[in-house]
Structures are given as C-alpha cells and as structure tokens.
Amino acid sequence: MIAVALLSVAALLVLAPAGVVLSARPRGSIILYGGCLIATSTLCVTALSDLLFFAHLSPSATLPIGLPWLGAHFRLDALSAFFLVVVNLGGAAASLFALGYSRHEDSPGRVLPFYPAYLAGMNVVVLANDAFSFLVAWEFMSLTSWVMVVSHHREAENVRAGYVYLLMASFGTLTLLLAFGLLASGAGYSFDAIRASHPSAAVAGMVVILALLGAGSKAGLVPLHAWLPLAHPAAPSHVSGLMSGVMTKVAVYGFVRIVFDLLPEPAWWWSMVVLLVGGPTATLGVLYALMQRDIKRVLAYSTIENIGIIFTGLGLALAFKAEGLGWVAALAFTAAMLHVLNHALFKSLLFFGAGAVLGATGERDMEKLGGLIHRMPKTAFAMLIGCVAISALPPFNGFVSEWLTFQAILLSPQLPSWGLKLAIPAVGGLLALAAAFAAACFVKLYGISFLGRPRSDVAASALETDRFSLTAMLALAALCLIAGILPGLFIDALAPVSKAMVGNIMPHQVGLQWLTIVPIAESRSSYNGLLVFVFAALCGTAAASAIHRLASDRLRRAPAWDCGYPDPNPAIQYSASSFSQPIRRVFGSVIFAAREIGEMPPPSSPRPARLRVELHDLIWDGLYAPIAMVVGFATERINILQFFTIRRYLTLVFVALIVLLLVVAL
Amino acid sequence: MNALGDILSQGAQMSLVLGLAPLLTGFVRKVKARLLRRRGPPLLQPYRDLVRLMRKDVVLADNASWLFRVIPYLIFSGTWVAASLVPTFGNGLLFSWTADLIAIIALLGSARFFQALAGMDVGTAFGGIGSSREVMIASLAEPAMLITVFSVAMIAGSTQLANVAEFMGSDAVGLRVSLGMAFVALTIMALAENARIPVDNPATHLELTMVHEAMVLEYSGRHLALIDLSSQLKLLLYVSLIACVFVPWGMATADASVDRFAFGALLYLGKLTVLGFLLAVFETSIAKMRVFRIPEFLGAALMLALLATLLRFVSGSL
C-alpha cells in the first residue's frame, strides 16, 4: 500500500521538472495535468482502500534520504489515509478541471512545473512519520504554492499578496519548528519516538499553543488569517481551489497529528483555547466574506469560516476527551473530519465555478457580472449545488457535519469544568450565526453573479465553459449530494480515524433502518438525508404534475412587472454592496467600523452626489499594521550599519567579540 | 399499530396540514377584520384564492430563468415536508425520526434560501430589496431559532420533536425560567419568520418596508399559488410547533386507539384556534416597525434564547 503511495508521489515529483519542458509545447499542459490526474487518482484509490479495509495495518517505510542518521520515515495510518483521500480527491478534481481550464493560462511555464510539486508536497506532509520530513515537506508545499500565487506577477496586488503570504508561511513554519523542537528534545525526531516520550504538562501546553499558531496560520484562523484572502484568489483558479479546499486541510492534519496523536492525554484548557479561536473565526470569516465583491475573495473568506467550524469541532473533541467522555469526543471529532471532507468538496467546486466564470468573462468582480445562468447554464447548476451545500442546507453535505457539531454542543452540559460550560453555548451561538450569515453570503454570491440581468458586455456575451471543467464540477456536485443523503457511509468510514485519535468511535451507522444517522441514541436525535431528499422530491413532482394536469400548465412571457415601473437599465438592480448594506449596517458598524459618507454638492453645483462606504479591517489595523510599523522603524534604524567605513566595522567586530567573550565568561 | 396504520396516520398528518393551512390564515384574517370592526373576507377565501390562482396562466418575466420556474416547487416541497414532520394531533409518527428539530429549521432555511434567490432572478429593484432584507432578518432570526432549539433540547434531552413533546407533557418538566424565555423567543421568531406585524406586513404591497411580498412580486398564477400556500403552511408549522413544545397535552401516542386520535385532532383544532386568535389580537394591537428597528427586536430574542441556554448550563432545574 505505502509503496504504491510513495511511487505515485515520486511520479508527481518527476512530472515537476518535466513541466519545464512541457510548458513550451502546445499540448504540454494536457500531458502534465493528465499525468497529475492519474497519479492523484491512484493515490486517492490506494488511500481509500487502505482506510476502508486495512486501517489496522498502518504500514510504514523508511527511505535513505534526508538526515543521514535519521532517514525519511513514512507511515500510512488511518489519519494519514483519510487526509490522503481528501488531498488527492481535491487534487484529481483540480487536475481534471485544469485539463480544460489551462487554455486560459497565458504563461504556463510559471505554473506547470510547480503544480505537481505542490501536490507532491501536500502528500508528503500527510505521509511523513518524522518531524524532519514533515517540516521539509510543509515548507516545500508553502514555497511551491507561493510561486503559483505570484505567477501573475505583473499585477501589483498579487505581488503584495505573495509577500504577505511568504511572511506568514515562514512564521507558521517557525512556530511548528519550535513545537517539534520541544517535542523532540527528549526523544528524537521520529514520530514513534515522540509518541513514546512523556513531555511535562507545561511543555505539552506550549506545544499546543505553538501548533495552533503554526497550523492555524496556514489554515487561516483569526487573527492569523490576513494573508489568506489575498493569496488564495491571486493564484490560478484550480490552484486557488487546491489552496482553499485542500491545503487548509493539510494544516488541520498537522494540528490533529500533533495535538491528538503525538501529545499525551489533553488538559481541559487546551480545548478552551481552540474553542475561543474557532468560534470567532467562523463568524468573523463569513462576515468579512459578506462585505466583499470579488467572487474569489468571498470564497477565500468563507474558507476561514469553515476552518473555524472545523476547529470548533476539534476543540469540542479535545474538551470531551480531556473530561473522559470518549463517545462524545468521537462524535465531535467525526463531525470535524466530515466537515474537512465536505469543505474540500464544495470549496473546490465553488472555486472551479469562479474559475469558469473568470475564464468566460475575464471578471472576478460581481458588480460586473449577472445573468450568467442564461449564458452558462451547466456551470450555474453546479455552482447552485455548491452554494446550497456550503450554506449548510439539507439535503446536502454541509448540513450533516454542522448538524453533528450541534449535537456534540448539546451534550456539553455534561462537562464538569465551568469555563467550558460557559464557553460552549457561546461558541454554539457563534456557529449558529455563522451558518445564517453563510446562507446570506451565498445568496448574494449566486444572486448577483448568476441571476438577474448582465451588468456588463462581457457578462452578456459569456460562453459555457469546456467539458473537462464541467465534468470536474458536476462530479464534485454529485459527491456533495451523495455525502448529504448517505452520511452513514462516510461516518462509518471515519471510524478507524476516530478510534486512533480519540480512542472511541460513533455508533455503527450502516444497517440502521432506511440509512438513518443516529449519533448517540434514537431517543436523542436522528436525521435521514435520504428520506428528506426523496420526500421533498416526491412532494415537489407530485405537486407539479397535479397542478399541470388538473389546473393549468399555460405560460406566457411578458416584460418584468416590477410594480409597474420596470427600468431597462441593468444598473437599477441590487449590486453586491447594496445587497449586504442592511447586514453591514447592523453588524458592520462595530466589527468593521463601517461608515457611510454621503457627499452632497452645494445646490448650484453640477457635480454628482456621492456615497462612499468606508470599511476597516480592525485586525489588520490593530495587529498587523503596528507590527509592520515597528519592523519598518527598526530596519530603518539598523540600516545605518550598511554605510560604515571599514574602520568602524572593525571596531564593531571587536566590540562584539568582547561582549561575546564576557557572556561566555559569565 | 401495524405498518398500514402508521402509513395512514402519517398520510393523514400530511394532508391535514395541507388542508388546514389556508383555513388558519383565513381565520386569522377574519379575526383581525372583526377586531378592526370590518366584516372581513369569508373564512374559506384563501382556498378560493388558491384555486383561482392555480387556474390562471403564468405570466413570466422575459428574462426569468429555469430556476425561477422551479423555485416555487422547491419552496413548497421543503415547507410541506417540514410541516408534516411537526407532530400535530398524534405523536410518534412513522417518519418522525427522519428529521429532528434542527433539520426542520434547516429545511425552512433551504426554502428561504431559494425564495431569496427567486427575488433576484428577474433583476428588478424590488426583488433585490426584498431578498436583501430577508437575508438580514434571517441572519438574526435563524441563530435565535437555533439557540432556542438548543435550550429546549437541553431541557428535554432530545432534539427529536416527538420526544420533546412527550417530555413536555410529562410531570418531569415543572415550571422553568428558561422555558419561559424560550417561549418568548420562539414567539418573536415565529412572528419574524412568517412575515407578520411588527416585522413585516402580510397584507401590503407597494410599501417601501415590505420584505416577503417584494421577493415574490414577479410571480403569478400557479407559481404564486404555491408560494402563498407555502407561507400558509409555514404559519401553521410555527403554530403547531409552539403548541407541540409548550402545550403538548392531549396528543395521541403512536399505539393509541382511533378515538384517542380523534380526541387529539379535536384538541389540536382548539389549540390552533386559540393561538390564531392570540396572533390576530397581537397583530392588531401593535404597529409595524421600521426596518432597522427589526434587528433590535430580533436581537432581544437572540439574547433571551442565549440566556435560556446559559441558565440551563448553570442549573439543571432552572
């Protein structure tokens, strides 16, 4: 099993240099993305069969590369297998999409060599079984994705995005390096040795904080999210889909591996920290998303929301695990893992849809789109499913994982510690708010860009996207529906992961009457997506056929009514900013310090009146800007060092030497 | 009871909610009219309106998409399924375990999602204003509703409506502060979700503060009939929900005899009459709010619900 996985990763690594050659050829990108599709599909199938049938085996392998006394350790246990499925499902979908989408790429040489390397990097992170390989692969993944973020480097915005991303990625790797340093201090770098060692409570606590900072900065936890909405949209759309849908999940993997696997039994306050970061991340992420007008940026902010939901689930799992309620911990952990998979499915789908729109119109700005459901009906259909699924509405998959998370929250009165008792209802409230905002956000995204009348000529003359892209999107949409109506299959597949990480599993689901899911007991709660779907479909078709047969099926077209005053100008429609104006007014005045400034010209002046909306990112202003200012100030001061004479440099060296000697002597 | 009986009672429940929904709306309208010393339309007027609308041609705006034509059926089926899952006259229905209270709320959320999309499909200013305000109201109402559900579910130890109703009907409940708060919050939610005064005015067109009616402005004929019927179903759903959670007495259990079911049905009609009357009295005694006062009104419900949940955490008996 692991040999197949490693060989496929090696194939991806071979494809990377081949990309340099292939990018010069007319059909090179087809060959490269085709190769990636085959490699990732192989990996996906291998990992899936391992998760389903051989999860208890956990085969491992050691290759003689890397540090000479350590080698590179790899292991394919249940957790790695599950995340391999997620990574490669997303990777295969992105490669399939890119088969068609790559014709929009004007400089393939900037993307093609790095794309397979990036995929390989993510796979190695998940497979690594020692700290050294893990960190090297992690950094490899960051750097290859960074190259693709700045691939359109002529746009100033992308360069800035790349700069911020590089800084944050280095910060994340640094904290992870420190975390592993603390873990390995008594044991050694291999994960087996770390698992066997018993760090003290203080060290374990520090490792949790460092892991949360390191993995959280990659996943986009507030307040470490600032780079994400800049960097994810800047990359080509299939890479954006991978970064948002998959790479954030690799970060989640890093956190789970360190906190649930490598560290000993958790303390209750760990979960408190995770919950207090996760809940606000969910709500703030989607509120930011609501204020945006760039399609891809909306999607990137919504990724932050979903990461918040996942970390809330993980926090709940930690809390229940720490307090010895293993069966609830299994429920919360399974909910989080299911959301990992679900979010990878619908976020990739939505980014591909945004890419299709970008390819057809050249626009990412929603204010210039509209009416695309007429011009791109199939893309619009797939996007609709993605939007419903991400808004956590039944019968699609997003609802199932949120429902499971809510069920875990409802069991929290059983926890003994008071801090958690008070924090968890608040976090539950934040999640409920986030779910409602997500629906509002995706009504806006879909309604403004796909419905209504076209707001620009490019939108009015858009053409449907190619077959490869459509296949990728429709396949993901179908998976969203399947995971929504047959969640029992997915919950059962996750059992070995939950067994390995929290030591408990949810009750066995497949085989229950009508494939219902029952997280705890039937007297508590149950949900059957399949029956809801069949019920609703039957009611809808029955109503339609009855009305058409018995009452009337005639239809005629006429101009829109609009209360008698239809205006042919498409500018009369609601725009993205006006759609979110009520929510901005209710919530934004505090959270974004939003202000609307109306400028009326004096009565005699022919100037138009203007309305300006000011939004502030308080986290950027309050956290990042001061740090940037201090760093800038310090570098400017230190800059004098660059212009010394040789004499002064020698003096400096001499003084430094004296100081060092003094330090050693003392 | 045997499988056939189960299916019959589930079918009876589904047709009952569908048949009663317009009557409840007609009843509320009639009481409101009488309170304003008007004679008001006859009780059966909503049925006549529906039949007339269904027989008319659909006049579709020129640039309406396929989604616009599908949405009325989506809204109707989502609302109908949700409404038929709330226990009315009898408990322990065949499909009661299909969806719990959270799923019922989410089903209504799906219906609203599509309704808001429909408002934006034709690309008119009125549709946009309705959708935009609807999602603003929903962004407060939905979390408040969910947290109310949390507090009720924590007291009853279940999110399954059948079990909640059974627990609430037993002696184990007692008087609880948190239940009182949850009741007030749920009532406010019910008003907001059903576009009633003071949040929205169900009887108006062409008013700048309207929400629900603005979204469905472009609909006509059978599409409009379905959307109207869905709104009536939703009103019935919320009234049944309040009855089922807070006054569940007299509900027949799954294995009860036929006369128990008949008694339960009669009692259910009585509950609907009382609650419908109270709704009409409330609506006539209060004025509609400005749009940007609604968040404060709903925020109060949100806080009440959160307080009820916290109380439950602090003490098991409050």
**DSSP secondary structure string for all residues of A125-157:** HHHB-BHHHHHHHHHHHHHHHHHHHTSSTTSHH
Distance from CA of A417 to the nearest CA of B (A): 11
Report the relative pairing of strands B58-61 and A72-75 from DSSP bridges.
unpaired
- What pLDDT shows up at residue B11? 83
Share of chain A above pLDDT 70, in %: 100
**Nearest CB to B143; choose among A392, A429, A541:** A429
List CB contacts of B73: < 8 A, sequence separation 6 or more.
A540, A541, A543, A544, B226
Contact (CB, 8 A) for B134 and B212: yes
From the number of C-beta atoms within 10 Å of its C-beta (0-12, 13-18, 19+), residue B267 rates as middle
Dihedral of the alpha carbons of B87, B90, B95, B101, in degrees to the nearest 10:
20
- Average pLDDT for residues A90-106, to the nearest whole number? 91
Cβ of B146 and A432 within 8 Å? yes
User: Six-digit token pair at A410?
Assistant: 């409802």
Rounded-to-integer distance, Cα A314 and Cα A81, Å: 19
Average pLDDT of chain B?
88
Nearest to B245 by CA among B156, B168, B146, B148: B168
Give yes or no for A573 touching B (CB within 8 A).
Answer: yes
User: Six-digit token pair at A290?
Assistant: 């609501």
Task: Look at B124 and B256; give whichever has higher pLDDT.
Answer: B124
Rounded-to-integer distance, Cα B257 and Cα A395, Å: 35
Rounded-to-integer distance, Cα B240 and Cα B248, Å: 10
| Residue B2: CB atoms within 10 Å | 7
Instruction: Name the residue in chain A with its Cα closest to that of B305.
Output: A429
Tell me which residue has tokens 């509703």.
Answer: B145
Contact (CB, 8 A) for B214 and B137: no
Which of the four pLDDT bands, split at 50, 70 and 90, describes residue A593?
A: confident
Average pLDDT of chain A?
92
Residues of A within 8 A of B99 (CB-CB) are 394, 527-528, 532
Rounded-to-integer distance, Cα A376 and Cα B118, Å: 18
Cβ of A406 and B99 within 8 Å? no
Nearest to A445 by CA among A308, A229, A286: A286
Residue A187 reports pLDDT greater than 80:
no
Which of the four pLDDT bands, split at 50, 70 and 90, describes residue B212?
A: confident
Residues of B within 8 A of A539 (CB-CB) are 76-77, 80-81
Separation in Å, CA A102 to CA A50, A52, A111, B218: 32, 34, 10, 41
Cβ of B143 and A433 within 8 Å? yes
DSSP run (H or E) holding A73: strand A72-75
Q: Which pLDDT tens digit goes with each residue over A612-664?
A: 888 888 888 889 999 989 989 999 999 888 888 899 999 999 999 999 999 99
Distance from CA of A434 to the nearest CA of B (A): 8
Which of the four pLDDT bands, split at 50, 70 and 90, describes residue A515?
A: confident
From the number of C-beta atoms within 10 Å of its C-beta (0-12, 13-18, 19+), residue A76 rates as buried
**Nearest CB to B226; choose among A399, A543, A585:** A543
Residues in chain B: 318
- Above 0.90 for ipTM, yes or no? yes
- What pLDDT shows up at residue B318? 67
- Average pLDDT for residues B215-237, to the nearest whole number? 94
Cβ of A582 and B226 within 8 Å? no
Least confident of B50-59, B269-278, B291-300: B291-300
Cβ of A433 and B113 within 8 Å? no
List phi, psi (to 5°) of A24. Answer: -85, -15
Rounded-to-integer distance, Cα A619 and Cα A224, Å: 9
Contact (CB, 8 A) for A363 and A232: no
Rounded-to-integer distance, Cα B255 and Cα B262, Å: 13
Residue B316 reports pLDDT greater than 50:
yes
Rounded-to-integer distance, Cα A169 and Cα A340, Å: 21
Instruction: Name the residue in chain A with its Cα closest to that of B102.
Output: A403
Q: Which amino acid, residue A127?
A: L
- What pLDDT shows up at residue B1? 45
Residues in chain A: 666
Give me the sign of the Cα torsion angle A304, A310, A312, A314: negative
Residue A55 reports pLDDT greater than 90:
no
Which of the four pLDDT bands, split at 50, 70 and 90, describes residue B240?
A: very high
Residues of B within 8 A of A582 (CB-CB) are 132-133, 135-136, 291-292
Cβ of B163 and A406 within 8 Å? no
**Nearest CB to A439; choose among B57, B107, B113:** B113
What is the number of CB-based contacts under 8 A between chain A and chain B? 281
Residue B206 reports pLDDT greater than 70:
no
Nearest to A120 by CA among A18, A230, A210, A220: A18
Residues of B within 8 A of A426 (CB-CB) are 306
DSSP run (H or E) holding A610: strand A610-614
The alpha-helical segments, DSSP class H, found in A568-645 are 576-579, 581-583, 589-591, 618-619, 625-638
- What pLDDT shows up at residue B2? 61
Beta-bridge partner residues of A480: none
Tell me which residue has tokens 């929504």.
Answer: A484
- What pLDDT shows up at residue B208? 59
- What pLDDT shows up at residue B36? 93
Separation in Å, CA A403 to CA A320, A356, A411, A435, B144: 18, 31, 13, 11, 16
Cβ of A447 and B120 within 8 Å? yes
Mark which residues 85-144 of B lie under 8 Å from A by CB: 95, 97-100, 102-103, 106-107, 109-110, 112-113, 116-117, 119-129, 131-133, 135-136, 138-143
CA angle B289-B295-B301, nearest 5°?
Answer: 100
- What pLDDT shows up at residue B238? 95
- What pLDDT shows up at residue A185? 83
Report the relative pairing of strands A595-599 and A610-614 from DSSP bridges.
antiparallel
Tell me which residue has tokens 């008698």.
Answer: A564
Q: Is A15 helix (H, G, I), strand (E, B) or coil?
A: helix
- Average pLDDT for residues A518-545, to the nearest whole number? 89
- What pLDDT shows up at residue A649? 92
- Average pLDDT for residues A454-467, to the nearest whole number? 93
- Average pLDDT for residues A535-555, to the nearest whole number? 92
Rounded-to-integer distance, Cα B292 and Cα B298, Å: 11
Residue B140 reports pLDDT greater than 50:
yes
Separation in Å, CA A332 to CA A324, A568, B42, B145: 13, 52, 53, 22
Task: Look at B162 and A315; give whichever has higher pLDDT.
Answer: A315
Rounded-to-integer distance, Cα A465 and Cα A102, Å: 12
Q: Which pLDDT tens digit goes with each residue over A291-318?
A: 999 999 999 999 999 999 999 999 999 9
- What pLDDT shows up at residue A549? 92
Rounded-to-integer distance, Cα A179 and Cα A217, Å: 14
Cβ of A523 and B160 within 8 Å? yes
Three-state secondary structure string covering chain B = CCHHHHHHHHHHHHHHHHHHHHHHHHHHHHHHHHHCCCCCCCCCHHHHHHHHHHHCCEEEECCCCHHHHHHHHHHHHHHHHHHHCCCCCECCCCCCCCCCHHHHHHHHHHHHHHHHHHHHHCCCHHHHHHHHHHHHHHHHHHHHHHHHHHHHHHHHCCCCHHHHHHHHHCCCCCCCHHHHHHHHHHHHHHHHHCCCCCCCCCCCCCCCCCCHHHHCCCCCHHHHHHHHHHHHHHHHHHHHHHHHHHCCCCCECCCCCHHHHHHHHHHHHHHHHHHHHHHHHHHHCCCCCCHHHHHHHHHHHHHHHHHHHHHHHHCCCC
Residue B278 reports pLDDT greater than 60:
yes
Residue A103 reports pLDDT greater than 90:
no
Mark which residues 217-276 of B lie under 8 Å from A by CB: 217-218, 221-222, 225-226
Tell me which residue has tokens 């429902």.
Answer: A403
Cβ of B57 and A551 within 8 Å? no
Cβ of A562 and B126 within 8 Å? yes
- Average pLDDT for residues A99-110, to the nearest whole number? 86
Distance from CA of B218 to the nearest CA of A (A): 6
DSSP summary character for residue A224: S
Give yes or no for A456 touching B (CB within 8 A).
Answer: no
Instruction: Name the residue in chain A with its Cα closest to that of B58.
Output: A555
Give yes or no for A568 touching B (CB within 8 A).
Answer: no
Rounded-to-integer distance, Cα A33 and Cα A101, Å: 10
List CB contacts of B11: < 8 A, sequence separation 6 or more.
none
Give yes or no for A567 touching B (CB within 8 A).
Answer: yes
Least confident of A296-310, B194-208, B235-249: B194-208
Give yes or no for A627 touching B (CB within 8 A).
Answer: no
Cβ of A540 and B62 within 8 Å? no
Beta-bridge partner residues of A294: A365
Which of the four pLDDT bands, split at 50, 70 and 90, describes residue A27?
A: confident
- What pLDDT shows up at residue A153? 85
List phi, psi (to 5°) of A239. Answer: -70, -35
Mark which residues 580-619 of A lie under 8 Å from B by CB: 580-583, 585-586
- Report for A118-122, A551-555, B94-98, B302-306: range of highest mean pLDDT: A118-122
